[in-house]
Amino acid sequence: MNTYWFDLEVEGPVTEDQVEALGDILTAAEGIDATVQADHRGGKVMFNREAHDAIEAITSAIEHVTAAGMNVTGVAEDLVVTDEIAERAKVTPAAVRYWLAGERGPGGFPEPKVRRQRNSLYSWAEVSAWLAAAKLGEVDHSAAETARACVLINAALTVRKGMHDLPAHDRPLILHLVA
């Protein structure tokens, strides 16, 4: 079993009753392995789930969150800030800043997925692959697998949502395409 870190994006409103219901559902399953960050605007449910593979981890999480009454709109891989990169790579935050600036390491550090004045967010899968290529660490295979699973499951969620809006006679055509 591996541990997979990912966020499920949920539509608003998310109520305290739904959060409590999720607590019930997770407790009855393998135990509470999620934290909700959401309100009337929606938000996310952060998971670190043990499973045989990333697809199993994410689809079972979607099932649990949906059963609690929340509507899952997407899944995001583990995004990290520079301090987390330093922690995971077991280096100082200053070392990461040098890598970012290209002043140390081979250059070409991955671009942030979410750019901010401070605390920009990076794909841990991309960063761990860069660390491995630069011989500064090992690839986090779970992170790379999670990133690939997120792409596939997001596509499936898009198809599922789109199917609702399609005329009934067009739905089999889409089902045939993805089968």
Partner 1 sequence: MPAKETLAALGELESVGWRVRLTSGRAHAYAKAYCPGGPGGCAPVMVYGTPRVPEAEAARIRGALRRCPHLGGQKP
Return the number of other C-beta atoms located less than 10 Å from residue 47's C-beta: 24
> C-beta of 33: minimal distance to partner 1 in Å?
5
Q: Which is nearer to partner 1, 76 or 129 (CB)?
A: 76
d(CA 149, CA 155) in angstroms, rounded, equals 10
Q: Which is nearer to partner 1, 92 or 158 (CB)?
A: 92
Q: Which is nearer to partner 1, 116 or 176 (CB)?
A: 116
d(CA 69, CA 57) in angstroms, rounded, equals 19
> C-beta of 51: minimal distance to partner 1 in Å?
13
> C-beta of 172: minimal distance to partner 1 in Å?
39
Q: Which is nearer to partner 1, 78 or 145 (CB)?
A: 78
d(CA 179, CA 117) in angstroms, rounded, equals 44
Q: Which residues bind partner 1 (CB under 8 A)?
A: 16, 19-20, 23-24, 26-27, 30-39, 41-44, 46, 48, 79-81, 83-84, 116-119, 121
- Under DSSP, is residue 1 helix (H, G, I), strand (E, B) or coil? coil
> C-beta of 159: minimal distance to partner 1 in Å?
27
CA angle 116-140-129, nearest 5°?
65
d(CA 8, CA 49) in angstroms, rounded, equals 12
Q: Which is nearer to partner 1, 29 or 134 (CB)?
A: 29
Q: Which is nearer to partner 1, 34 or 51 (CB)?
A: 34
Q: If you write DSSP's letter for every residue of 40-105 in order, what string do you get?
A: TTEEEEEEEEEESSHHHHHHHHHHHHHHTT--EEEEEE-EE-HHHHHHHHTS-HHHHHHHHHTSSS
d(CA 159, CA 178) in angstroms, rounded, equals 9
> C-beta of 97: minimal distance to partner 1 in Å?
15
> C-beta of 169: minimal distance to partner 1 in Å?
40
